[in-house]
Chain A
Amino acid sequence: MHHIYCPYCEEMREEEEYSYTGEAHIERPKDPAAISDEAWANYIFFRSNPRGIHHEMWYHAAGCRRYFNATRDTQSYKVHETYKMGEMPSITAQTLAVANLSEKGGAS
């Protein structure tokens, strides 16, 4: 059992209710005709596919049927946070790196 918090239903729900729908925070070019084919192809096809922290969209398919964002570690599958559409993540690869550093500093 793997539970993920839905920011709209405001509770933990079983993973079975959700589906993953790809990388988050990808902005559609305002004027597609004005950009190069390469820039357009990057927008359409290319994703960051990181090893580690990834900001991605999830869909509460069997629940409220809303899309939301999640910060997930692609290596451990740990979901660090979920947040509503239009919001920005509070946890990023950078904030985690800083937190890890201060943790190590505190321990020595």
Chain B
Amino acid sequence: MTNFDTSNMESPLHHRVAHTNAANAGVVMKEDKFRGQLNLRGNPQDVAFTSAVESVLGVALPMAPSSSARNGDTVVYWLCPNEWLLIVASGTQGQVEADLRTAMEGQHIAVTDISSGQTLVNLSGTGVAELMQKSTVYDCHESNFPVGKVVQTTFAKTGTTMCKLEDGSFDLVIRRSFSDYFFLWLQDASDEYGLSVS
């Protein structure tokens, strides 16, 4: 009986094997772990609402479609005319939520802590532009996707909320339940550029 040749086989966890070309990685993925994420809804025409939020976050809510605002570790994404995503420093979401509720006492609003449902991933590197081209239907060229713009679209058919940063990299908010799928796609799509994960 001859020995079973395993040299061309893929084990069940084949896809988890680290990349051999990670040293010259054209795509760098960095998970910004455990950032606090709050979904905020309210009436953008109500000054009591907008000023209460601004007093807590230290930055005005972005009102233009697909825009964002930043104040240190606090990032605010426009999601739709009456809905925003607040990304805050890890561990502070409970306090931010409590402060928002106090400031908006009696108002018709909603604040939901969704930190455990999604995660923030940063994609950078010389190959990232091409990676985005084959991963999303959205035109990520800088003429269409300038710094600070926020776009909710699909990434490899799963949903994502992405923002372009000043250094040319992309912040992607992805769902926890799709994170493994996202990573497998990323690993495959980055193969030709090399992938480094930190």
Contact = CB atoms under 8 A, between A and B. Distances in A.
Interface of A: 1, 8-11, 13-14, 16-17, 62-66
A65 B137 contact: no
Contacts of A66: 80-81
A66 to B, nearest CB: 5
Contacts of A62: 152-154, 159
A8 B78 CA distance: 11
Contacts of A16: 137, 154, 157
Given A14-B137, A14-B138, A64 B154 contact: no
A1 to B, nearest CB: 8
A2 to B, nearest CB: 10
A-B residue pairs, 8 tightest by C-beta? A64-B80, A14-B137, A10-B65, A63-B152, A62-B154, A9-B65, A16-B137, A62-B159
Contacts, number: 39
Interface residues of B, number: 13
Nearest to B66: A9
Contacts of B81: 8, 64, 66
B80 A17 contact: no
Given A8-B81, A64-B80, A65-B80, A17 B66 contact: no
B65 A63 contact: no
Contact of A17 (B65, B79, B83, B154): B154
A62 to B, nearest CB: 5
A12 to B, nearest CB: 9
Given A8-B65, A62-B159, A13 B153 contact: yes
